[in-house]
Every structure is written in C-alpha cells, then in structure tokens.
C-alpha cells in the first residue's frame, strides 16, 4: 500500500469512529426510581408537588434526569419485585412512597442505593436508627397519619352525637393495622359508642365490607389511613355519599374529592421534603 492510500484509510477510519466517540462522551442522565404502593390516579397532586420541587432544583424528567415509576396500585405484594427491578436498573436514588410497605421493600432490595421515603414512624418500622441520625442508606419524611385514628374517631363522635353505632373500614394487610385496630377500639370505648369494624384488602373484600357496614346499620364511618384505600378513594367517598354516612378520612385529598372531613398532616409537604432529599 502506498503512503498516500494508507493515510486515506486511517483518515476514513478516524472519521467513521467520530460519531461513536462523541456518543460515548455524552453525559449519562441520572435515574430516579419512584416506587409507590398507590396509583398515579390518586397520587396526581402530590406527585406534581414532587416534580415541581425537582424543577425548582433544576431537574426535569426526560431532559436532565430520568424517572422510572413503579405503581403497586394498592397490591402490596407487588412491591418487592418492583423494588428489585429498580435496583437492577441501577437507579441513582430510590424514592419509596405510599406508606411503610414501599419503604420496607426498598430497604430490603438494597443497602447501597440511597433511599428517600415518605412514611409513618420510620424508627418503629426499622428503616432508620433514629430521627436525628438515620444511619444506613435511608432517610425521608415522617408523616404519622396512621397514628391519628383515635383523634379521627373522636372527631366522628363529635360530628354525629345521635349515632349509636359507628363503623370503621380497616385494611388487615396494612403494616399499620396492628396499631390502628386497638387505637380505634379504645377511642370507641372512650366515647361510649358501639363500633363495628369491617376489613378489606382487595376489591372483592371492599365490596363485601360495604355490604356488612350497611347490614350492621352504622350511622357514621371512619376510614383508616391506608394506601390501598387511597387507590379506591372515589369508590369509598361515593359509598358514603350514596348511603348518607358522615365519614372521616386521613388526607385532605379525600375532602377535596368530596369527602366530609379529613384530619392528618399534609401529604403534599411530605412529598416536597422528599423532593429536597432526592
């Protein structure tokens, strides 16, 4: 091969390699894994608060960051597999929302990827060592709404002085159920009212729970704090309205959607704080 031809071959090879080299040098966008026990339909306003906070920090989905969503839609058994998927995706941070079940699934899936949670008492759940010094790879927002069932039942008592029997709707599969049930029962004893508790963790059980509550003749309803009920919020509100049942819920979103009363900390604030950590 003559020297001139050799130079042409080398120059052609270098030119062909330029697009590949340029592509390889493009910065890789960070990835946020977003794991939730809830659904996108009932999480809309608080998710927008999270995305707004990211935008204020200069991060926009699809532009300089990628957000990978996994929604369990109230089916807690799906969370471990979803968390494992996000870990395999090698996300830069794992945001676990929608209660303790999401946070625990994330914690079990990784001990190295940073986890940001929005949940009730993270110390009691074993997610962190303490509120002041979380330790490990998890931190986030503490939203203690499951611990307020006594207050919510007391409000229901004040709102319905002439009702002899109050009803409560509880998810037995919730990590918080073991604390919620005795708190509700104790509050009912304090008020001197009779109480009937119906339990539901899926759609068939929810339909049956509605029928049981009506069969018992309840005159007011407490809906215990739980992400599964959040995903069925409209159905529960419609049930209470159609049967003229005064009902108390946890998050403000229930009242905005037509529910009578809510009492809990702001979940929007919780998501905004989670955005700061993220």
- pLDDT tens digits along 122-170: 999 889 999 888 899 999 999 999 999 999 999 999 999 989 999 999 9
Q: Which domain range does residue 72 map to?
A: 31-144+266-277
Q: In 10 A of CB 202, how many CB atoms?
A: 14
Assess whether 206 and 158 both reside in one domain.
Answer: yes
Say if CB 250 and CB 264 are below 8 A apart.
yes
- pLDDT tens digits along 105-120: 999 999 999 999 999 9
Assess whether 178 and 116 both reside in one domain.
Answer: no
Assess whether 195 and 233 both reside in one domain.
Answer: yes
Assess whether 40 and 140 both reside in one domain.
Answer: yes
Assess whether 230 and 161 both reside in one domain.
Answer: yes
pTM, 2 dp: 0.85
Mean pLDDT is lowest, of 63-67, 207-211, 252-256, 271-275, for: 271-275
Calculate the alpha carbon distances from 83 to 68, 78, 151, 178, 211 in Å.
11, 9, 34, 24, 35
Calculate the alpha carbon distances from 260 to 166, 199, 255 in Å.
15, 21, 6
**Average pLDDT over the chain, rounded to an integer:** 90
Distance CA 221, CA 45 (A): 25
């Amino acid at each position: 091969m003559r020297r001139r031809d050799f130079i042409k071959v080398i120059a052609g090879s270098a030119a062909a390699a330029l697009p590949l080299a340029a592509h390889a040098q493009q910065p890789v966008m960070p990835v946020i894994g977003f794991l939730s026990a809830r659904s996108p339909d009932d999480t809309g306003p608080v998710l927008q608060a999270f995305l707004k906070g990211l935008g204020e920090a200069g991060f926009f989905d699809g532009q300089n960051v990628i957000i990978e969503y996994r929604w369990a839609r109230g089916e807690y058994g799906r969370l471990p597999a979803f968390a494992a998927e996000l870990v395999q995706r090698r996300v830069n941070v794992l945001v676990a929302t929608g209660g303790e079940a999401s946070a625990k699934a994330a914690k079990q899936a990784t001990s190295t990827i940073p986890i940001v949670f929005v949940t009730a008492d993270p110390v009691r759940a074993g997610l962190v060592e303490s509120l002041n010094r979380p330790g490990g790879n998890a931190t986030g927002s503490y939203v203690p709404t499951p611990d307020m069932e006594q207050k919510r039942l007391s409000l229901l008592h004040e709102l319905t002085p002439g009702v002899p029997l109050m009803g409560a709707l509880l998810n037995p599969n919730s990590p918080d159920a073991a604390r919620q049930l005795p708190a509700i029962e104790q509050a009912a004893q304090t008020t001197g009212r009779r109480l009937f508790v119906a339990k539901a963790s899926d759609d068939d059980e929810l339909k049956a729970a509605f029928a049981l509550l009506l069969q018992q003749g309840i005159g007011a309803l407490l809906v215990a704090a739980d992400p599964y009920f959040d995903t069925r919020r409209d159905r529960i509100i419609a049930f209470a309205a159609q049967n003229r049942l005064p009902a108390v819920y946890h998050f403000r979103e229930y009242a905005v959607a037509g529910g009578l009363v809510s009492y809990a900390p702001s979940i929007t604030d919780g998501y905004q704080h989670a955005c700061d950590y993220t």
